[in-house]
Structure 1
Amino acid sequence: MDERKRDSMIAYLRHRMDDFGISPDDLASALAAAPEAGRYRSANGDSWSGEGAMPQWLKQAISAGQSIGHFELSSGSVSKPPPPAGADWTNDPFAGSPLARSSPARS
């Protein structure tokens, strides 16, 4: 990502955080406190704890040549919670990502 695009993205994120009353500290604490849902996760959000039978999505990815390590979550990974009720995420490119997971500030 070039520097201009990065700066533009940062400005956008700061604006969205201001819209929802999210401070950088709120974001950091939400990312640090989020529970881990599994040991492996697909791009679609499917997860697997590593126990029991390997799920089909992971078997297919490995058969296609992908490394299982590609799907392994790091200790700082976060789960995918449902979007907050009443929020319009239709035009938000970060909806569902760690950047959009903090709750709005409570009045």
Structure 2
Amino acid sequence: MKGKIADGEARDRLIIWIRRRMAEFGITPEALAESIQYDLDHPALYRDAKGNEWNGLGDAPHWLRAAQNAGVDPDFFRIASPQPPRSADPMVNDTIVDPRQLDLFA
């Protein structure tokens, strides 16, 4: 494994880097949790091809106004309500997990 970082070590390094950036910008774990909760409470309703999103609150963003001015119906960008996949196995717990809460390095 010469020249490669073990997964556990990479995870540890990433956590240290994230903690340093949070401290650098004054982001507390509580503020991060509040931001995640806000996103959960106000999901995006519109998304463009570049991944820009808008939850419908406040003024429409530039990318959506530009599309409207070009004659594109805003409903073109509306995100369909995704139906979470369900298991056919009744013994499987179908709890919906927000992918942002997954530990991708476990």
Q: Structure 1 or 2: larger helix share? A: 2
Looking at CA atoms only, which structure, 1 or 2, has the larger radius of gyration?
2
Q: What is the TM-score with the length of structure 1 in the denominator? A: 0.39
Q: What is the TM-score with the length of structure 2 in the denominator? A: 0.39
